[in-house]
Amino acid sequence: MKSLNFAVKLNDEQLNKKNNMEENIDIRGLNELIESKSGFVTNLVTGMGQVIVGQKHLVNALLVCLLSDGHILLEGVPGLAKTLAIKTLSSLIDASYKRIQFTPDLLPADIVGTVIYSQKSESFVVRQGPIFANFILADEINRAPAKVQSALLEAMQERQVTIGSDTFKLPQPFLVLATQNPIEQEGTYSLPEAQIDRFMLKVVIDYPTIQEEQEIVKNHIEGKSQEVKPIVRTDEILAAREVIKQIYIDEKIERYITDLVFATRFPEQYNLKDMKQNINFGASPRASINMALAARAYAFIKRRGYVIPEDVRAIAHDVLRHRIGLSYEAEANDISSDEIINEILNKVQVP
């Protein structure tokens, strides 16, 4: 009886502690802080809209990665403004930008840099590569072999580069924006899972609507070209990231995120027995972390100091689609990872 009373008392203390913690979170004050720090988001969206016709989901995904300190992989057929979108975003921000065109003959030193001998100083000096910039466009990343692709791993994960015996920190913010073409197979090298997992989001870009394409044609015929100038400073982005860290995520939302990820690993536990044969391996713990970070950034874009289930659902496809390994049965039946994610979102209970 004594132990039972102690357990009840302990549970009451934990409940009171949780209630006090939530009362200490000033949601109204946080909303006001977000409102004051998120003005540049509207400027970026407006600036992107003056150059990019449509592609609202792409613009939001770029902003989520920018605010979450993540990296993004864009996949789509040629001509869908993948490179233009990335270049426009980097031009709107007062930061350094480098484009690396991946080709089969590219070397790791072409990306990170190398050590060369200087006759003038009669010593070896480090020559830094194009990776030392705030925004890196890795164009057609799947055209370079694995040795070159792996040169990005340390930079993307550790935010540093080792050249010779020296290690150099990369500038902040640091964002890798990679593109790949899904329809060409000749002369391409598939990204290994270890590298794909480094990308916070994978966004699949579709064709524009007929009205959007008509507007694109009209703009090109009339020779309309919007001059892009920097309108946002990097310190505004870094300050926004600190605010995003304060956005409240309830325990129920945290459990919802982990349920979505666990459903990719153990679908039978979520009434998805038929899906088990279609999944070779599920998403890694990095998916849970990135989903929480991306949901916070999405809430920031929506001017909210707390995360709701709709924020998680809005970014779930982009976080999970490249982290689910499809089985031979799924490929034979032409089942995509997006279809599996749809089933998971429909089955997992929303808090």
The span from the CA of 344 to the CA of 351, in Å, is: 14
CA dihedral 62, 64, 65, 67 (to 10 degrees): 120
Question: Which of 129, 136, 131 shows the shortest CA–CA distance to 66?
Answer: 136
Tokens of 280: 């070779």
The span from the CA of 121 to the CA of 117, in Å, is: 9
Q: Are strands 113-118 and 123-128 parallel, antiparallel or unpaired?
A: antiparallel
The span from the CA of 330 to the CA of 279, in Å, is: 7
Q: What is the pLDDT averaged over residues 121-148?
A: 84
Asked if residue 295 has pLDDT above 90, the reply is yes
Q: What is the pLDDT averaged over residues 203-218?
A: 85
Asked if residue 22 has pLDDT above 60, the reply is no
State the average pLDDT for the chain.
Answer: 83
Q: What are phi and psi of 339, to 5 degrees?
A: -65, -40
- Identity at 33, one-letter amino acid code: L
Tokens of 46: 């407006």
pLDDT digits (tens, 9 = 90+) for 183-208: 566 556 677 777 788 899 999 888 88
pLDDT digits (tens, 9 = 90+) for 68-119: 989 999 888 777 777 788 888 888 888 888 998 888 888 888 888 888 877 7
Asked if residue 23 has pLDDT above 70, the reply is no
pLDDT digits (tens, 9 = 90+) for 46-61: 888 888 887 888 888 9
Question: pTM for this one?
Answer: 0.83
Asked if residue 346 has pLDDT above 60, the reply is yes
| Buried b or exposed e, range 214-238, using 16+ CB within 10 angstroms | eebeeeeeeeeeeebeeebebebbe
What is the DSSP code (8-state) at residue 207?
Answer: P
Report residue 23 CA to chain centroid gap.
32
pLDDT digits (tens, 9 = 90+) for 262-280: 999 998 988 888 888 888 8
Residue 56 has a pLDDT of 84
Strands (E), the chain: 72-75, 93-94, 97-101, 113-118, 123-128, 135-139, 160-163, 166-169, 175-180, 201-204, 232-233, 279-281, 325-326
Q: What is the pLDDT averaged over residues 8-23?
A: 46
Residue 225 has a pLDDT of 67
Residue 25 has a pLDDT of 66
Asked if residue 15 has pLDDT above 70, the reply is no
Residue 190 has a pLDDT of 75
Question: Which of 193, 217, 202 shows the shortest CA–CA distance to 320?
Answer: 202
pLDDT digits (tens, 9 = 90+) for 302-336: 999 899 999 999 999 999 999 998 888 888 888 88
Report residue 149 CA to chain centroid gap.
18
Domains and CATH numbers, the chain: 29-104+132-220+233-246 (3.40.50.300), 247-351 (1.10.8.80)
Q: What is the pLDDT averaged over residues 232-248?
A: 89
Residue 183 has a pLDDT of 58
